Amino acid sequence: MIAAANVLTDLYLSIAALIGLTILHGTLIKRAADDLLVRRLVFGLRVGMMLFAGRALIVLTGGMGFRFMVLLAAALVPLAALIVAEGLLRRHAPSWAKWVIGGGAAFFGFTAFWIGGGIDPARLVGLLIFQVVGFGVAGWMIATRDRKSLSDGENRMAVRLGFSLVLLLPLAAGDFLMVYIHLPVQVSAICVLALCWLALSLTRAHDGHRRSYAALLLMFGASLGTAVFIGVIAGVGLKGLVVIGAVVMALVLVLAIAAAVRAQSVHLVAYMAEAEGDDPLAFLLGLQLHPLVDLAVKVDGASLDDAVLARIFAARPVLAKGDFPALGATADDHMAHLFARYDATHIVDCGCFPRQLVALSMPALQTSAQAQIELCAVQRMAALMATSAMRS
């Protein structure tokens, strides 16, 4: 009975991790599928999805035919961590690190298709050492990053990734060594769910790291307390408590992830309420001080056709990268030029005459569909300021 409970718990945890990864994957694709960092993160998420899908299929089929999926994904995890770290920090890993991680991924990826059991446990020990090295390199890059070369948002993402690596390493080791340390279930899914929640909570920049970590600690504490309460009533032993705790933690984290997707405000309403002055250009440029805005600069449109710009911003006062109105080839060229020149994610019309535009850059990981709505409200307020000034 206990063995069956352990197997079912592994299936439950794998499905829970798949749900969390799928939610984050879909959210990132919807936000900015063409963003370079998002593409790197999506690769990492798909590696994780393959790993947990393989685990679930092994339980559901009752055989080891899908074990190669788990082993192949485990071989790609260090490579994914390195690729994400490079994209996040905007720097290349040292050549030796690329050779070690790339070579290790190729070697262990090849051994994933070795069906015979004679290669284990040497293969599992090697994979564990390889993952420790991969996480260590990614963590070293994060710890030694040039903080001044990164925006506040990028530094915030780097800290979250580093924290996730610290949390993931012992839990991943527990998965590899569960037979030897007598761990009843594979608990790395808990860390993956925590990583998904931390990534989605990046939009709440006003909360800061302490509040996010405190919320995560509260969820862990509540889950452990609930597990102990149920375990005492049911009269289970330590292994039973671990199983119950893992199930409760997974459930709480999946619910928290779903809630985080629904609450994706970037708090621009507070900026509108607290902003001073009545100059629409200064009002929009003041967004530079917002925690989720990396760049806010005035656009020099002297080389562009104002008639074309008028058509563009009449159709879309807040223009988002990758979401252009269909206004013809000339308008497409103007819009592409604006985004390429300023490396912006949004171009906002101040509503003034003569026309004034502001280019904004908001990291893809820290924005959401709600951000577009709030930016439209900010632009509307700037336009009202401009109208009021013209009437005066």
Residue 240 has pLDDT above 60, yes or no: yes
Cβ distance 142 to 85 under 8 Å? Answer: yes
Higher pLDDT, 123 or 212: 123
- Summarised one tens digit per residue, pLDDT across range 337-376 is 888 887 777 888 887 777 788 888 776 655 666 677 777 7
- Summarised one tens digit per residue, pLDDT across range 284-335 is 888 777 766 777 888 877 677 888 888 888 888 888 877 788 888 888 888 8
Burial zone of 135 (CB within 10 Å; 0-12 exposed, 13-18 middle, 19+ buried) = buried
- Summarised one tens digit per residue, pLDDT across range 180-238 is 667 777 888 888 898 888 887 765 555 556 777 788 888 888 888 888 888 888 888 88
Q: In residues, how long is the chain?
A: 392
Residue 72 has pLDDT above 80, yes or no: yes
pLDDT at site 1: 43
Tell me what the pLDDT averaged over the chain comes to: 81
Higher pLDDT, 42 or 265: 42
pLDDT at site 180: 66
Joined together, the tokens standing for residue 241 give 């408590």
Give the residue-averaged pLDDT of 147-168. 75
How many of the other CB atoms lie within 10 Å of CB of 94? 12
- Summarised one tens digit per residue, pLDDT across range 137-152 is 988 888 888 887 776 6
Cβ distance 14 to 56 under 8 Å? Answer: yes
Q: Which of 84, 101, 87, 97 is nearest to 45 (CA)?
A: 84
One DSSP character per residue, 309-343 reads HHHHHHH-SEEETTB-----HHHHHHHHHHHHHHT
How many of the other CB atoms lie within 10 Å of CB of 42? 17
Task: Round to whole Å and give the CA distance between 254 and 21.
Answer: 10
pLDDT at site 113: 86
Sign of CA dihedral 374, 380, 383, 387: negative
What pTM did the predictor assign?
0.75
Task: Round to whole Å and give the CA distance between 292 and 198.
Answer: 15
